[in-house]
Chain A
Amino acid sequence: MNSRYLRYELLRTVRNRRFFFLSLGFPLALYFLIAESAKSVHRLAGTGLSAPTYFMVGLISFGTMGAMLSCGVRIAAERAVGWNRQLRISPLTTRAYFRAKLITAYLMAILSIAALYAAGLSLGVSMPLHDWVQMTLLILVCLVPFAALGIVMGHMLMPESIGPAMGGSVALFAFLGGSWFPLSSHGVLNDVGQLLPSYWLVQSAHVSLGAHPMGTKGWIVIAVWTAVLVVLARSAYRRDTGRV
């Protein structure tokens, strides 16, 4: 991997101040807004989790889904100015191009996670270190399908349309996955929710209860979404570059 190329890619992301601070700050502000008032709720609606813990992971899911999909925004912006064609006539491989985009997206997601962990600690969230680590790893794995979705959107949409598409997708995944409030333990919403990767993203909070929150079903959902979206991303890229 060409580290100089990646370094400039990261530099561009940080220099885009409005994007950078909004995508970190927005979930943080929402977290304080929602969780501060519910600080004393120790068992939130049958989840077994304290409100600050549940909403910390809920807002992490919201922020990190946005961080992953924003890789599509960067791809669409580069396509719009013809920069991806310029890169395609350089020795940069397609693989390295996407790797840089994914590393950037993941670093944004990790920053978002770190900011919300700090906010959670300030509201009294606590769990053993290995639970923090396990939860973080689960979150990062559950974000894989969203990385692929970002690439699909980046190669299918223009910069004018990707904003609403991204905002809408994140809102929908967050709503149906339980980012804003715990889904009831049965019923249609729960059945639908369990088929979404965002649901399992939020479920990763349950490691603090000593459970294995993913289960076979969770792994299957994440794997299927990843597989389907990777196939779509590949075909979107091929169609976009005229290599059908």
Chain B
Amino acid sequence: MTAIEASGLRKSYGDVHAVRGIDISIAAGETVALLGPNGAGKSTTIDMLLGLADPDSGEVSVFGGPPTAAVDAGFVGAMLQTGALIRDLSVRELVSMVASLYPSPLPVDEALELTGMSALADHRTQKLSGGETQRVRFAVAIVANPKLLVLDEPTVAMDVEGRRSFWATMRSLASEGRTILFATHYLEEADAYADRAILMAHGRIVADGPTNEIKAKVGTRTIRATLPDADLDALRLLPGVSSAERRGEAIALSCADSDAAIRALLAEHSQARDIEIVAAGLEQAFLELTGDGAHSEPSAVPPAEAVT
């Protein structure tokens, strides 16, 4: 059964093309990470999947119907990216208030227990710390007892302990067969907790597949060296190297395994000098995947005006 089916989604806000035509299909029971740097269009995509925003074009269905129907049926629990809590209620009262809106909610005490908020259940919401507020927002999302749980950068304001217990709870929720979609810009989170990652950049999906494949694609390091007469095709065949390109006298090797690659490179080309190994940040990796990398790569050559 399909939990989410979206095709050709587009959404602009004024001149900002937040989402530029994406297709997503998520089967029931999958745990999927929506991975991308800030401004990639993750939150806008989530808004459309939840029915909070109408796409300019394209179709979304959630459990076979429009998102609002799934929401009205109580199938969806969500923790949005921004948001605080309304004041003048205790944590328990707030979670009960939300629970009362759903047809078959989790027991409130269970939701508090799962989010580690039992001890603070009688505290007023306006007196909580940022990390505690995030936990309550998580409790609000799961008390719905949802078939589909959507979380937009859930761990952002959480402390280390908060994150640990958060992901432990997520694991157990996923093991109950719920469909989980979470947005993150941490590759490690996607790798550790999702079966599958959908990579977004500039409002497009640039990769979609099992997390280990995605990790291999973006978890790369780049070896740069000055090596004037190397044969690019030969370099590409070195162990650990996934692609090679030349910039003047320098070469740049994108490596899935930079340790193996550097050993092989030096064994064959001991004359290589000015060697640098840099981890491609996620952002850089995304840009390269979208083909915009060449433009944003810092240039070794000064701008033309400066030379003349």
Query: Interface on A for B, CB 8 Å cutoff?
Result: 2, 4-5, 8, 11-13, 15-16, 77-78, 81-83, 85-93, 241-243
CB atoms of B89 and A11 under 8 A apart: yes
B100 CB, nearest partner CB in chain A, Å:
4
B83–A89 contact, CB under 8 A? no
On whether A81 and B52 interact (CB within 8 A), knowing A5-B100, A90-B144, the answer reads no
Given known contacts A4-B97, A5-B100, A91-B103, is B86 in contact with A12 (CB within 8 Å)? Answer: yes
Which residues of B sit under 8 angstroms from A85, Cβ to Cβ?
Answer: 52, 80, 83
Q: A89 near B100 (CB under 8 angstroms)?
A: no
Complex partner residue of A91 from B73, B80, B97, CB under 8 angstroms: B73
Contact among A8, A12, A82, A89 with B87 in the assembled complex (CB-CB below 8 Å): A12
Q: How far is the CB of B94 from chain A (nearest CB, A)?
A: 8
Chain A: CB-nearest residue to B150? A89
Chain B contacts for A91, CB-based, 8 A: 71-74, 101-103
Q: Which of B217-275 contact A (CB under 8 A)?
A: none
Q: Are B71 and A83 in contact (CB under 8 A)?
A: no
* Chain B residues near A (Cβ < 8 Å): 50-54, 71-74, 76, 78, 80, 82-89, 93-94, 96-98, 100-103, 140, 144
The 10 A-B pairs at the shortest CB distance, nearest first, are namely A82-B83, A4-B100, A81-B84, A15-B88, A8-B97, A12-B88, A90-B101, A92-B101, A91-B74, A89-B78
CA distance A88 to B103 in the complex (A): 16
Name the residue in B51, B72, B86, B93 with the highest tally of chain A Cβ atoms < 10 Å from its Cβ: B86
How many Å from the CB of B157 to the closest CB on chain A?
14
Q: What is the minimal beta-carbon distance from A214 to any residue of chain B, in angstroms?
A: 38
Decide: B100 and A78 in contact? CB cutoff 8 A.
no
Contacts of B84 in A (CB 8 A): 81-83
Which of A78, A82, A89, A241 has most B Cβ within 10 Å?
A89
A16, B144: Cβ atoms closer than 8 Å: no
Complex Cα gap A77–B102 (Å): 24
For A242, the chain B residues whose CB sits under 8 A away are 52-54
Whether B71 lies near A81 (C-beta < 8 A) is no
Question: CB-CB < 8 A to B54: which residues of A?
Answer: 242-243
Contact of A5 among B101, B103, B144 (CB under 8 A): B101
Closest chain B residue to A19 by CB distance? B88
Q: Which residues of A contact B89 (CB under 8 A)?
A: 8, 11-12, 15
Q: Which residues of B contact A82 (CB under 8 A)?
A: 80, 82-84
Which B residues lie within 8 Å of A87 (CB)?
101
Complex Cα–Cα for A88 and B52 (A): 7
Q: With a CB–CB cut-off of 8 A, which chain B residues contact A241?
A: 52
Expressed in whole angstroms, the Cα–Cα distance for A85 and B80 within the complex equals: 8
Q: Which residue of B lies closest to A83 (CB)?
A: B86
| B50: nearest chain-A partner, CB-CB | A89
A2 touches B88 (CB 8 A): no
**In contact, B71 and A78 (Cβ under 8 angstroms):** no
In the complex, which residues of chain A have a beta carbon less than 8 angstroms from the beta carbon of B82? 82
Select one of B74, B76, B85, B93 contacting A83, CB under 8 A.
B85
* Chain B: minimal CB distance from A21 (Å): 14
A-side contacts of B51, CB under 8 Å: 88-89
Chain B residue numbers with a CB within 8 Å of A92 are: 101
Inter-subunit contact A11/B93 (CB<8 Å): yes
- Residues B101 and A86 in contact, CB atoms below 8 Å apart: no
Q: Are B97 and A5 in contact (CB under 8 A)?
A: yes
Residue in chain B with minimal CB distance to A9: B97
Closest to B83 in A: A82
> CA A77 – CA B52 in complex, angstroms?
19
A106 to chain B, nearest CB (A): 19
Are the C-beta atoms of B83 and A83 separated by less than 8 Å? yes
Given contacts A81-B83, A242-B52, A242-B53, are A86 and B76 in contact (CB under 8 A)? no
Q: How far is the CB of A95 from chain B (nearest CB, A)?
A: 12
- Residue among B51, B88, B93 having the largest count of chain A Cβ atoms under 10 Å: B88
Alpha-carbon distance between A189 and B230 when the two chains are bound, in angstroms: 92
State whether A4 touches B88 (Cβ < 8 A).
no
Q: How near does chain A come to B73, taking the closest CB pair, in angstroms?
A: 7
For this complex, 14 residue pairs linking A to B, each with C-beta atoms less than 8 Å apart, are: A15-B88, A16-B87, A86-B80, A86-B98, A87-B101, A88-B71, A89-B71, A89-B80, A90-B74, A90-B98, A91-B72, A91-B102, A92-B101, A243-B54
Complex CA gap A4/B108 in Å reads 14
Return B43 CB to nearest CB of chain A, in Å. 11
